[in-house]
Structure 1
Amino acid sequence: MTYLDPRESIWPGLVSGLCLAVIMTALEQPEAIVITAVVAWLCMLWWIFEPLPIPVTSLLPIAVFPSRGF
């Protein structure tokens, strides 16, 4: 069995964030709630496992929210 070091890949966070978005969209949640939940999920995973430096992770909401009109 191959060990996947979470610090070497950002893909688990992206895939789980996409799954969260699909599930919340299927539950007919408003777009703002879906985007906020996915960004919070990605920030949480990337902050814990550090596939990206923490300063980059902390800037994610600052980059995403204005681009989506929040």
Structure 2
Amino acid sequence: MRLRADAGYFDGKLARVAFLEGVEFAIGAKRIAPLWRLLSGLSKQDWTDAIGMDGARVAVASYPWMSA
């Protein structure tokens, strides 16, 4: 099972439940300061072309709550 949600559903509770239940997930994130700090730590090699979205790039990163 997989979960995909847009930025309107960006919520730590939703992500935690998905993570704890073993559900693969992607949740669009609001452009908040902690997210910009996380993204600034990604290297050029962390990004790849998005499928079916000309000119868009995507990267996967762990959000801080996943480390706790």
Q: What TM-score, normalized to structure 1?
A: 0.30
More strand by share: 2
Which one scores higher on RCO, CA 8 angstroms, separation ≥ 6? 1
More helix by share: 1
